[in-house]
Each structure stands twice: as structure tokens, then as C-alpha cells.
Chains A and B, each alone.
Chain A
Amino acid sequence: MKLRSWFLLPAWLWMALLFAAPFLIIMAYSFLTRGVYGGVEHPWTAESYQRLVDPLYLEVFLRSFVMAVVATVLCLLFAFPAALFIARAPRHKNLYLQLVILPFWTSFLVRTYAWMFLLRDTGLINTALLKIGLIHAPLPLLYNDGAVLLGLVYGYLPFMVLPIYATLERLDPSLPEAAADLGARPLTTVFTVLVPLSRPGIIAGAVLVFIPCLGAYLTPDLLGGGRTVMVGNLVENQFTNARDWPFGSAVSILLMALVTLMLWLFLRRQSEQLV
């Protein structure tokens, strides 16, 4: 074997140990019978998968999908102008990029708790609004879909900004000049030239935001307060409170299958359009 091929060995070992093995274990669990105090028992069965068609669970999948789509679109709306601003900045580009990734310096959990302190009834926002007399009762800012979306967009925004910035930065600066020269106003230039040409970055960003949003657990758990159940919460609930490991595993497998399928369909369509 060529020396170069050995360079992949660490990555292969890592993936085998920490991705393939757990995946196979979950796969096996999903076809076993639930143990009385958690865990799994024989015999083999597909019962968990049959239960998945229950409208109750389909609704959870649908809700997760909608939340992930909305979060991705919102991220795109916020990220594109920001990425464009940084790419076009005559100086201090690195400073702006540092600011984009600054939140990563603190744990996501801590930052999510910080949002709770801001949004809760006795939180900073409600207290301030009450003090200046704009409202007379606290606004319900926390424990709803809006709070979850806010958390998702906040958490994954950098993953949208960075790839879009990377494509915009590489664009020939004479292209927007040519558009202006041909009579396009700034916004027209953005939509007719910059957005279409940054599509690879937008796609990369959308994938990087959509997938973790679909399986998000922490954000809906803390900011949704259990009222907004997404797939991640369903899985967690099956492994803890419900003690139904086979069903939790089946939900995980279905989520993975759906993500893979959507990604495959999406990327195939994109590559067709590029031809």
C-alpha cells in the first residue's frame, strides 16, 4: 500500500470507533425489545418502527422539519447581508470574522442559559419594559416556538455567515462593478449577481444549519421548556423517562435516514442545475 494511503488510518480508526460502532449498536437496539427498567432484551422485532407511524410522532417530525426550515431561512436572511458587509469591508475583515465566531469561546449551554435570563418573566427584557411602563404584565418571551427559533438562529448563525463570506470574498470585485455599470442599483446587483454567484456558500451554509437544527435537543429543551417537542427531545425522553431504548433508537435511525435522503435529493438537484 502506498504511504499516502496510511495517512487516512487515524481518521478511519476514529470513525470506526466513534461513529460506525455506536451506529451499529443503535441499529441493533432499534430491533430489540424494551427492558422493564430500561436497556434492551430479546427477541428481535420491528415493533418500534411500526409505532413510528403514529400521527403523534409524525407530528413531532413535521414540527422539527418546519422549525429547522424556518431557522435556516432566518439564518440566511441575517447571514447574507452580514457576510456581504464583511467581504466588502475595505479593512478590519479579520476583526469582523473574529466577532462572528466570538460566541464559540463560551459553552453553548451557558449561552442558552443566558438567553433564559434575558427572556424569562423576571428577565432583563421584561423587567426593563415593565420599569419604563411600556407593558404592565411580563411578555411571554420564553418557553414557546419563538424562543426556540431565536435560540436556533442565534446558535447556528455563524455556520451560515462563514461559507457565504468565503464565496463572496472569492468573487471577482469587477462583477458588481460591471452590474452597476450596466445600470443595476445596489439591491438589484445583490439579487441578480451576488446571490446567484454565492449559491455554493448558501448551500453549504443551509446544510450546516439545517441538519443540526433538525436534531436540536438542548435549545428546544431549555428555551421551549418541554412545550416545543422536537425529534431530539423525543429521543431523549425515550431513553430517560420512558425507558424505551428500542423506540428511542428507532426514532434516531429514522432521523438519520431522513437527513441522508433529503441531503442526497437536494445535492443531486443542485448538481443537475450546475450542468
Chain B
Amino acid sequence: MTPILEVRNLIKDFPGHRAVAEISFSIPQGSFFSLLGPSGCGKTTTLRMIAGFEQPTSGEVLLKGENVNQRRPYQRNVSTVFQNYALFPHLSARGNIEFGLKRQQAGNMAKRVQEAIKLVGLAGKEDRRPAQLSGGERQRVALARSLVLEPDVLLLDEPLAALDPKLRKQMRVELKAMQRRVGISFLLVTHDQEEALSMSDYVAVMNEGKIEQIGSPEEIYLRPRTRFVAGFLGAVNWIGDVGVRPESTRIGSHPERNGAHSCSATVTDSVFLGDRIQVRVQLATGQEAIAQVTRGSTAFRPGEAVHLCWNASDELTFS
């Protein structure tokens, strides 16, 4: 099946630097796809080229297999949820949601707007201006405004960054549920690995304008192809040249006898985190490592000689 969106060898040069360095990926119909990377990695520029706000220096953007490079933003059936939401301050929530439908002169507008308001849970607040809505409510307006148009792809530029941490976690769940319900393909841009991992079907990790790896959240977390991907998605203990995630690293006073790999170390610090204890150790090589232990286990004191153990299958290897 033709992917709903495909990007081929996309390059974007700005005066003095290359923001996007020849990237390619495709998004299967109805999936949740994330572009994950640190700020300045070119993920937002990529999104803007797909929306039509920026012209690629070279390469192609294909929607349903059709090259849309020459189409203006208003001629592309994609819709963007902006980082600051970009709601029209002079229009009510309803006015914002109607905006796109009015441009299409769509039929049964009132019904579609009502459905969108219900979908995002804004019933009763549709006559308020953006200034009279909370951050979370504004985001719902921005979502409804785009979703009501039934775009081929919904583009989300750091949509949760402006929300407080508690609301952010709740919106992750809601956003994912919403995507499943409407069946529209979502392309999310984020620098938050937890966000990308928890919501996406596929994640593309970007660094310095290039895609380092594309895969399911499990693949990129458990089998990162590069050191950058391993490090960006979570903490890594470097033991010699071997990488092991802290949650796969065990600690004990003797090496385990089950064939697990091990290495001796000295405890430098032990931090109580409530649900677990984080033990910081120093290896003979001088490298630092972290092991998570359960609360009930024996206490480790700074200066104590211990052994780090891990399973060979948990080792991160890079080609």
C-alpha cells in the first residue's frame, strides 16, 4: 500500500548551515510516527517542509504518492498543530474550529464542528476566546481545528511542551487514544523521548539533520543502532565498550553464578528515589555506572566493593 506520506532525500540549506541533510522516511496510513531529536536537529524544519512553510533545497515530499513540492500550504491536505497553538485570538473556540471548514465551504459544518468539539472534550466552552481558556483547553482547540478538516496527516510540533508535567502525561494518553479513534496518521515532532516512546508506532531519531534510526519504540530503545540513539533514548552504562541500560544492571557483593557478565566496582553514592534505589558506582577503569535496585534489598554504602552483573542479551551493540 502507498504510504500516506513519504519524504525522499529531503535537504534544506539555510545560509551558513545545512538544517536537514538528505533524509528519507515514509509513514504508513493510520500510524503514529514521531521525529525525535535534540533541539536544532532539523525535525521542525522537516515538519515545516511537509506543511509547505519552507521549500526544500532538494528532495521530494509525497502525499499519497503524489509530489506536493509545488503546492502552497493551503493546497496541501495536511494540518499543523503549532507549538504555541497559534489560535486566532479574535475568534471564539468555535470560530477557530470553523475556520478551515469555512475555507472549504464544507457542507453540514455545524454538525462537524459539534463533533470535533465533543471529540476533544470542549463542550460548554466553545464560545470562549482563546484568552479565556487554559493551556490544555487551548491545545484541544488547536487539535479540533485541525482534526475537523480530516487531513491526510496531522502534523504536531512539540504539542505538549507548553503544558505542565501532570497534564502532559494525561494528554499523551488522550492524544494516542484520539489518534486511534479518528484513524488519521499523526506525525509528531518532539525532543522528549518518553513522549515519543509512549505514543508512537514508529520513531525516527534525528541528529544534526540526519536520521540515525527508524523503528518501533521497542526496537530503538532495546536495539539502538548508534551510540547517539542509545544515549538519547535513556541512560546507558558504558562498561568498557559495552553499553547496558541501568534497569538491566544488577549489583551484588559477589559475581552471579548464572553465567551473567560481571565486573567489579566501588559504590560512590546511593540515592533513595521512593519506588527504587539508585546506586552510583565507579569501575576500575574510572567509568561511572548506575544500577537500580529494589527498596527491600541490602543497603550499599559508599566505598563498598561490589560487582555489577548483566545478561549478555541486554548488551547494546552497535554496527
Binding site for B on A (CB under 8 A): 172, 174-175, 177-185, 188, 192-193, 196-197
Contact = CB atoms under 8 A, between A and B. Distances in A.
B86 A177 contact: yes
A181 B88 contact: no
A192 B74 CA distance: 14
A178 B88 contact: yes
A177 B90 contact: no
B89 A197 contact: yes
Contacts of B88: 175, 178-179, 193, 197
Contacts of B146: 181-182
Contacts of B100: 182-183
30 contacts: A172-B86, A174-B82, A174-B84, A175-B86, A175-B88, A177-B80, A177-B82, A177-B86, A178-B80, A178-B82, A178-B86, A179-B88, A180-B52, A180-B53, A180-B74, A181-B73, A181-B78, A181-B79, A182-B74, A182-B100, A182-B146, A183-B74, A184-B74, A184-B103, A185-B74, A185-B103, A192-B99, A193-B88, A197-B89, A197-B90
A179 B90 CA distance: 13
Given A177-B73, A185-B74, 4 more contacts: A181-B78, A182-B79, A183-B104, A197-B89
Interface in B91-133: 99-100, 103-104
B316 to A, nearest CB: 39
Contact of A174 (B52, B78, B86): B86
A262 B145 CA distance: 40
Across the A-B interface, give the 4 residue pairs with the lowest CB-CB distance, nearest first.
Answer: A182-B100, A183-B103, A178-B86, A174-B86
Contacts of A178: 80, 82, 86-88
Nearest to B106: A183
Nearest to A180: B73
A177 B53 CA distance: 7
B149 interface: yes
B90 A182 contact: no
A197 to B, nearest CB: 6
A190 to B, nearest CB: 13
Contact of B80 (A172, A181, A192, A193): A181
Interface residues of B, number: 23
A188 B103 contact: yes
B8 interface: no
Chain A contact residues, majority secondary structure: helix
B51 interface: yes
A119 B99 CA distance: 48
Interface string B51-68: 111000000000000000
B102 to A, nearest CB: 8
Interface string B196-231: 000000000000000000000000000000000000
A151 B86 CA distance: 41
A137 B90 CA distance: 53
Nearest to B53: A177
Interface string B279-319: 00000000000000000000000000000000000000000
Interface in B126-166: 145-146, 149
A181 B88 CA distance: 13
B31 to A, nearest CB: 21
Contacts of A181: 51-53, 73-74, 78-80, 146
Contacts of B145: 182
B72 interface: yes
Given A172-B86, A193-B88, A182 B53 contact: no
Contacts of A177: 51, 53, 73, 80, 82, 86
Contacts of A174: 82, 84, 86
Contacts of B73: 177, 180-181
B74 A196 contact: no
A12 B80 CA distance: 53
